[in-house]
Amino acid sequence: MPRAIVFHHGTPSDGGSWDDWLPTVQARGLVGIALDRSGYGRSPRRPGRAVADAADQVRDALVTAGCDEFVTVGLSGGGPHALACAALLDGCCGCATLGGVAPYGEPDLDFLAGMGPENVDEFGAAVAGEESLRAFMAEVGEPMRTITGPEISAAVGGLLPEVDRDPRYASDWAASLHRGLAPGLDGWIDDDLAFTRPWGFALAAIGVPVRIWQGNLDLMVPEAHGAWLAQQIPGAILHRATGEGHLSLPYRFRDAILDDLVGAAGWT
């Protein structure tokens, strides 16, 4: 059977944000699977979903693709969902998170420390509950459904160090927001709520190789998140990308990420 790489997009975004990665994956003889998470794009909402529920969606996709072995990659808000697949699905041979968020409320992690003000406000609304978060999203999230690339830096300037202000990053992000948020804001809202509640699996239960990639200039998911995850997951290796932010990391390190993950899985 063919082997697959399963991609989990950021929050908010859509599976199409991985399109530039798929030719590289196919050139390696692997199947690339990049899904819209529940509530985004073409994927129906799953109200009240937990992070762990992503494993159900991936399991079905692997059956459809005829793949029984896979590795998984999660960017930003996709990181927890990739870790869920590593913890819960048979056939997972490795996992990589790229600027992946850590669980909220852990006593030895200051979740908000180092985040830009926009994310501090967003997660503050999420912790207050769905009603509070929906009110926040009505004001802040709704404009993101139609935002243009040039408008992004002004809208979320507190989240973007200079290295993340490349117009190409902004253009690609805007396009993914248009696709992912086309049906509304539920996917984004459900992600934020899931991050601030129990994830539904134990990080200590992950038994496959895990690679944690983290830019030290990241203002969306600060580097303390990556360091904390690396300490909690057995055998995890932290790759600290000096001089990189949240958006620059997957563009500049794509080949290194894939080479490292495929090698960790023993597929080379």
For residue range 150-209, list pLDDT tens digits in order.
999 899 999 999 999 999 999 999 999 999 999 999 999 999 999 999 999 999 999 999
Separation between Cα atoms, residue 159 and residue 179, nearest integer Å: 22
Q: What's the confidence (pLDDT) of residue 86?
A: 98
CATH at 50? 3.40.50.1820
In the predicted model, what is the mean pLDDT of residues 116-120?
97
What is the average per-residue pLDDT within 25-51?
A: 97
Show Cβ contacts of residue 49 under 8 Å, excluding neighbours closer than 6 positions.
38, 39, 190, 194
pLDDT at 40 over 90: yes
| pLDDT tens-digit map of 49-67 | 999 999 999 999 999 999 9
pTM over 0.95: yes
Q: Scanning the structure block, which residue is given the tokens 């912790």?
A: 127
Distance set, CA 220 to CA 42, 135, 164, 184, 244 (Å):
26, 21, 11, 22, 12
Interval 251-264: pLDDT, tens: 999 999 999 999 99
Say which residue the tokens 């990181």 belong to: 79
Contact between 125 and 118 (Cβ < 8 Å): no
Mean pLDDT for 114-122 is: 98
pLDDT given at position 181: 98
* The predicted structure's pLDDT at residue 265: 98
- What is the number of domains present in the chain? 1
Let me know: does 163 contact 243? Beta carbons within 8 Å. yes
pLDDT for res 268? 83
pLDDT higher than 90, residue 1: no
* Residues near 33 by beta carbon (within 8 Å), at least 6 away in sequence: 4, 5, 6, 7, 58, 61, 62, 65, 67, 70
SS3 state at 195: helix
Q: What is the DSSP letter of 143?
A: G
| Average pLDDT in the chain | 97
Name the strand (E) or helix (H) holding 90: none
Smallest Cα–Cα separation from 95: which of 215, 233, 228? 233
Secondary structure percentages of the chain, helix, strand, coil, to 5: 50, 15, 40
Quick one: average pLDDT of 108-119?
A: 98
**Residue 186: domain span:** 3-264
Query: How far is it, in rounded angstroms, from Cα 204 to Cα 56?
Result: 20
pLDDT score for 5: 98
